[in-house]
Structure 1
């Protein structure tokens, strides 16, 4: 039984999950900023034209919402991965503690 490999795998998995969480957080932030800029541009264009925009002429924002949704799903996946790796680290720690108690 190799306790060190369990610790190593748990730490590597936790680091990957942490990196993934950071990446998805940045993606969500970028997309939100882009959406706000697009909305401001639309407001500015509407004010410049002094025209009313009917509901059918409004630009669709389904793609940005989908991107944010996908990023949120991936963020949740990374969170679950981090939790699983923390559990594996706890288990490896408990096993090592049990081995030390048995040998003493």
Structure 2
């Protein structure tokens, strides 16, 4: 496996996670509020819950992608130490 490939995969994963977090947060922010009674304003919590789960999954993906980048960086350091 090429180190550049590992860096690219990690970066791609971070970008995907960032995009998912952005999309989910926009969906949460745009949830309609039922304002039949101003004191009892509410919204449907099911879509919000689903988006919070998506955001947590994106967080885990970002952490895994960062670990891939860190590992690839450590491999480069090891290769430099061996070759010098």
Normalising to structure 2: TM-score of the pair?
0.89
Larger relative contact order (CA 8 Å, sep ≥ 6): 1
Alpha-carbon distance between aligned partners in 2 of 1:30 and 1:11, rounded to the nearest angstrom: 29
Alpha-carbon distance between aligned partners in 2 of 1:72 and 1:12, rounded to the nearest angstrom: 22
List gaps (5 residues or longer) in structure 2: none
List gaps (5 residues or longer) in structure 1: 45-59
Structure whose alpha-carbon radius of gyration is higher? 1
Normalising to structure 1: TM-score of the pair?
0.73
**Which structure's residues are more often helix, by fraction?**
1
Which stretches of structure 1, 4 residues or more, deviate above 4 A after TM superposition? none
RMSD: 1.5
